[in-house]
Structure 1
C-alpha cells in the first residue's frame, strides 16, 4: 500500500513551546528544521513542499507530482504548454528513468507562522526533545556539508528610549479574535496600526515599541512633551522618559542666631552677616546639635529678594560624634512690608510662614565613614524665621 503524507504528519514534527508564557504549541519539522504554529492542515501542506522529506519518501513525491499534473499548465507563447521547470529530474543516460519529482517551491526562511498565517522570523533555534531523548531531526548543513552554526537567541533591542510598557497597556492596545472558526489559538489586532499577530504578550509588547501609532501616544504621556515649548518631534529628547525625582522629608534643623550685622552696600547688593550660636537637628538617619561656628551671609538684591549663603557644622549624638558640614544656598522672597517685618526679631514671630518664601538647597559633607552616604545626597529645604531662630525642613531628592 503506498505511503500517504497523513501517516507522517505527527511523526515528522516535534512539539514545543517557544516561550514560557506561550499558550499555543509550536512544531519543528525534523527534516528541514522549519518552525511553525501547530496546525495539522498546514503541517501537511508543509510536508508536500519540504524538499528533504520528499527526497526521503519518493512514493509521496510521486503522489504530489500526480496531484499537480491534474492542473492544466498555462499555455506558452506559441500555444503549447509551459516548458518543464528546471528542477525536474532529467532521464538517466543508461536508459533507466528516475522517478519524476514535482517541482518543490523554495522553503521559506526559518521562522514561525502564527495563528493568523503571518510568517515571523525567529532569532533562535529550539532544541526540542521527545520523552527526554534527543529529537531525530537531521542537522542543518552548511555550504560545505558541515553542520550549520546554531543561531543564538538575541534579545530585540528597543527602537526608542521609551520606558517598558506595562502589561495592562499591552492588553488594552490589542483586540483579540479568531481568524477562522476552527482556529484553536487567538489572534490579536493592534488598535493603533491594525497589524494582526498571534496572541503573545512578549511579542505584542515588542510590537508596541516599534509601532508609530502607539509611540506617538506614548510620547504624549511624557511630561516634558506637554510643556508650553517643546523639542522637535524628531529630536531624541522628545522620546526620553526620565524618572521623576521624589521628595522625602529627611531631617529638620533649628538654628539659633545672633542679631544681624549689616556689612553695607557692595556691587552685588546690601550684605549682612548672621552668626550661629547653636541649635539642634533630628532626622531619619540620626540626630545631634549645631556647633556655634556657623555663618549665614545674606545679600539683599532688592527690597523683595535676599540671597542666602550659609555654612553650619552639624555634630551627631554618637558616643564618638561625627562632624558634618551643611552648605545652604537659596532665596528669601516676599512682599516689601513682609520682608521689613522679618528684619525685626520680635515682629518676625507674628509673620506666618506662607506669607513669604524661604527656599534653599542643601548639601552635606563629612569624612566620617559612618555617614559617607550623605556626601552624594541633595536636599531642598523650606524654612521660616522665628525671632532669633531659623528652622529648616530638609527634603531629600530620591
Structure 2
C-alpha cells in the first residue's frame, strides 16, 4: 500500500530548530533549499511549485510503466511568479520516494542537497533539533557595530503570515529582503551579518556624516561611541559689584580687561543647596565687537551642619550679535530686558572640594548656560553624562 500524501510531503523537507529557544520548527526543502516555517499545507503547495523537484533526476523513478505521470495542464491557477503550471501532488508522490530513500540512508546525489545550514555530517532525525553552528556575535569583517537593541530588531523586519492557516509568523528584512521564521535572537544575529544594514549603521555614526571622514577599514570609521547626555544639575545666582576697568589686556594685546567682584548669592540643585561666599571674581576681557572672554572663580557653601565648601571655577564666552552685546555691556536700562536666548553665555564649570561627602563632584564635568544682567548672573549647570 502506498504511503499517505502528507507523509510524502514531510519526507521532502528536513526539520530543524536553529536554537534551543525557538518555539517553532523550520523546514528546508531538500530540492531547492528554500526555508520556511513548518506548515503542511504550505509545504504541499511549495512542492507544487518547486523547480528543484521538477528538475530532480529522481523525479521520474519508481513510476509504474502502466501508469504514466498525469499530463500537465496548459494553464493553471497554481502558476506562481512565472514558475510554470503546477502538477498533481499524486504525481509528485512517486518522485518524493527518492527523497525519502535519501533521508533513510540510500546513496544518492541528493546527499548534497541537504540544507547547508545544518551540520553536514549528520542528518537530523525527525522530532529532534538540529545542532546549529555557533554564530559569531560580531560580523565576519570584525565590525564594531554593537548588537542592535530590541526595538531596532523589530523595526528592521516586516511580519507577515502567508496564509490564514499558518500558525507561525514569518519576517522579511527591510534591508536585504531575506525571509525567515520569526525569532528575535536570530533576527538580531541576521542584522549583525547583513551588509546593507551594516552600511546604513556606519552612515548613521555622526563622525561619518562630517565634511571629512576616516578611510574605509579604519577602526574610527566603524566604531560607534555613546553620545554624552546633559542633565540639569544645579543653578547659581551670583550678585555682582560694579565692574572695574583695568585697561588693555596684556595677555592678548587686544580687548579691555575688566574686574568684577562677587557680592554673594545662592545656589540650589539635585545634591544640595547653600550660599555663594562673598569675594569671588571674574577677570574678563571684552573685545571690540563686545564678545567677552569669561574667567571666574568663587566659593560656595552647603547648608549642611557642618557645612562643606566647594570651589567653583568656570571659563567660557559671552558672544552674539554686536548690537545685543552692546546693550548688555553699556546700557543698564535695557541690559536686564534682553532675553538670554538672544546671545550665548556658555561656560565650562569645574568643582573642587576636600569634603568626603561631596568627593563625587571632583571628577564631574558641567556645561553652563547663563544670563548676564547688570548686577547679577544666573547660570544653569548641566552635568555631562
Q: Alpha-carbon deviation of 1:153?
A: 9.5
Using the size of structure 1 for normalisation, the TM-score is 0.60
Partner of 1:315: 301
Which residue is 2:318 aligned to?
Answer: 332
Q: Which structure ranks higher in relative contact order (CA pairs < 8 Å, sequence separation ≥ 6)?
A: 2
* Aligned equivalent of 1:394: 381
Point out the more displaced range, 285-294 or 174-183: 174-183
The equivalent residue for 1:58 is none
1:243 to 216, 223, 226: 226
Q: How many residues align?
A: 295
What is residue 77 of structure 2 aligned with on the other side? none
Q: Does 1:19 align with 2:6?
A: no
Task: Verify the 8 A CA contact 1:192 1:213 in the aligned structure 2.
Answer: yes
Structure 2 regions of 5+ residues with no counterpart?
1-6, 11-15, 28-36, 41-60, 64-104, 121-126
Helix, strand or coil for the counterpart of 1:302? coil
Q: Which residue of 2 aligns with 1:167?
A: 150
Could you tell me whether the CA contact under 8 Å between 1:345 and 1:386 is conserved in 2? no
By how many angstroms is 1:317 displaced? 0.6
Matched, 1:276 2:262: yes
Distance in structure 2 (CA, Å) of the matches to 1:183 and 1:354: 59
Q: Answer yes or no: is the 8 Å Cα contact 1:344–1:387 preserved in 2.
A: no
Displacement of 1:329: 0.6
Matched, 1:190 2:173: yes
1:333-372 counterparts in 2 under 5 A? 333-344=319-330, 346-347=332-333, 348-372=335-359
Answer 1 or 2: which has greater helix percent: 2
| CA distance in 2: counterparts of 1:304 and 1:366, whole angstroms | 34
Give 2:279's aligned residue.
293
CA RMSD of aligned residues (A): 4.4
Assess, with a 3 A threshold, how the Cα gap between structure 1 residues 16 and 243 changes in structure 2: closer, same or farther: closer
Quote the offset at 1:177 in angstroms.
Answer: 7.0
User: 1:320 & 1:276 partners in 2: Cα distance?
Assistant: 24
- Shift, 1:354, TM fit: 3.1
Q: CA deviation at 1:211?
A: 0.8
Return the offset for 1:373: 1.8
* Matches of 1:350 and 1:179, distance apart in 2: 66
Give 1:349 shift.
2.6
Q: Distance in 1 between matches of 2:39 and 2:340?
A: 73
Q: Deviations over 1:22-41 (max 9, x none)?
A: 112599xxxxxxxxx9999x
Could you tell me whether the CA contact under 8 Å between 2:290 and 2:329 is conserved in 1? no
Q: Kindly tell me: are residues 174 and 17 of structure 1, through their superposed partners in 2, closer, same or farther at Cα, counting changes over 3 Å?
A: closer
Cα contact 1:18–1:26 (8 A) shared by 2: no
Task: Give structure 1 stretches of 5+ with no counterpart.
Answer: 1-5, 10-14, 28-36, 41-68, 72-100, 123-129, 136-150
Contact 2:297 2:313 in 1 (8 A): yes
Alpha-carbon distance, 1:218 to partner:
2.6
Q: How far, CA to CA, are the matches of 1:294 and 1:312 in structure 2?
A: 4
Structure 1 pair 386–39 and aligned structure 2 pair: CA distance change class (3 A): closer
- Equivalent residue, structure 1, for 2:369: 382
Deviation at 1:344, TM superposition (A): 4.4
Query: Paired residue for 1:119?
Result: 117
Matches within 5 A, 1:258-269: 258-265=241-248, 266-268=250-252, 269=254
Distance 1:17 1:263 in 2: 77
Cα–Cα, structure 1 residues 165 and 121, in superposed 2: closer, same or farther, change >3 Å?
farther
User: Are the aligned partners of 2:118 and 2:133 in contact in 1 as well (CA < 8 Å)?
Assistant: no
| Distance in 1 between residues matched to 2:236 and 2:358, nearest whole Å | 17
| Matches for 1:47-62 after TM superposition, within 5 Å | none
Deviation at 1:368, TM superposition (A): 1.1
Mapped contact 1:118–1:197 kept (Cα < 8 A): no
Cα distance change on mapping 1:183 and 1:318 into 2, 3 Å: closer
Matched, 1:226 2:209: yes
Give the SS at the match of 1:351.
coil
Quote how far apart the aligned CAs of 1:173 are.
3.6
Query: What is residue 79 of structure 2 aligned with on the other side?
Result: none
Q: Are the equivalent residues in 1 in contact too, given 2:118–2:132 (CA < 8 A)?
A: no
Q: Is the 8 A contact 1:306 1:332 kept in 2?
A: yes
